[in-house]
Amino acid sequence: MNPRILSTLAVTGLALMGAQSAVAQVVKVDGSSTVYPVTEAVAEDFQKAKKNAVKVTVGISGTGGGFKKFCRGETDISDASRPILKAEMEICKQAGIQYYELPVAFDAITVVVNPKSFLKDISVAQMKAMWEPAAQGKVTKWNQIDPSWPDAPIKLFGPGADSGTFDYFTEAVVGKAKSSRGDYTASEDDNVLVQGISRDVNAIGYFGYAYYAENTSKLKALPVVEKDGKAAVMPSEKTVLDGSYQPLSRPIFIYVNAKSLEKPEVKEFVEYYMKEGAKLAKEVKYVPLPAKAYTVNLEHLSKKKIGTVFGGNAEVGITIEELQKREGKL
């Protein structure tokens, strides 16, 4: 064969190998819009540290949407604002997908209104009356919740049905996950909710604390009354840490495909996440876990401790201390 052709083939082969390795150096993440700011911050720093030799893509399909992709083997990591549910565990099992459950921070679901709203605080019972399925098409004005409130329309904003925040909020407030009226403005993009609430004096909605913290000039956060006789509590790092912001404090997670972890770029990214995640979670207004929690996560990876400590249930009211106890027993 002509030496020039041989040379060309060799160069082409090397180029193809290079292209393949370039393609291989991608870490695919999708899922929760609540966890997104943390994962995106980690991804940005990691890519800089690797001088862009590794690309980390972070999507926002919602926790449920993220698990659908994850259990089909389409992503390496799933961002989740609630633990994996039984139905999702079963789909992953059928597809042969094993995973590591790594808590990365705590969040406070924040109930927000327009800055000009008459509301000073809100109780879980009032929110239930507003959001339960029976309220659909019937509870449409503020004075139907409390006669002392205005005779004005309630404009509800919240995450869509694929959202882990939706699952957690409905479990905590209504008493059953996914149990909600459907006649409200729904979006998996929390920035869409921010814009809607900030433009309507009669609006009320909920999402992760970080999106409120970024928009304090446009929104007012409401202190939450857990039950009669209890004081209204504002969401904050302090009230999440001391367990008083209930029932809307919750852990947030990443789930890592066990097979993906065999890829050096995924392993490096996850280890970087555990080492830098606390600092970056705090930067984007989440409550970092105690340092030991991230060490335990790394131990779970090295000892191949796969699975979940939640048994497929959407639990409400778990504290940081309780979370650590459970993860330590995996």
DSSP one-letter string for 30-87: EE-TTTHHHHHHHHHHHHHHTTTSSEEEE---HHHHHHHHHHTT--SEEEESSPPPHH
Q: How distant, in Å, are the alpha carbons of 42, 113, 145, 157, 196 from that of 31? A: 15, 26, 34, 20, 23
The domains found in the chain, sorted by start residue, are 3-107+251-328 (3.40.190.10), 108-241 (3.40.190.10)
DSSP one-letter string for 136-158: TTT--BGGGT-TTS-SSB-EEEE
Are 108 and 236 a contacting pair, CB within 8 Å? yes
Which pLDDT value is given to residue 322? Answer: 86
**Tokens linked to 96:** 């042969």
What does the alpha-carbon distance between residue 138 and residue 116 come to, in Å, rounded to a whole number?
25
What does the alpha-carbon distance between residue 31 and residue 61 come to, in Å, rounded to a whole number?
5
264-299 pLDDT tens trace: 999 999 999 999 999 999 999 999 999 999 999 999
45-104 pLDDT tens trace: 999 999 989 999 999 999 999 999 999 999 999 999 999 999 999 999 999 999 999 999
Q: Give the strand pairing for 55-58 and 26-31.
A: parallel
Least confident of 14-23, 77-86, 108-117, 212-221: 14-23
DSSP one-letter string for 263-320: SHHHHHHHHHHHHHHHHHHHHTT-BPPPHHHHHHHHHHHHTT--B-SSTT-------H
Residue 120: other Cβ atoms inside 10 A: 10
Kind plus residue range of the DSSP H or E element containing 233: none
143-197 pLDDT tens trace: 999 999 999 999 999 999 989 999 999 999 999 999 999 999 999 888 999 999 9
CA dihedral 92, 80, 270, 103 (to 10 degrees): -110
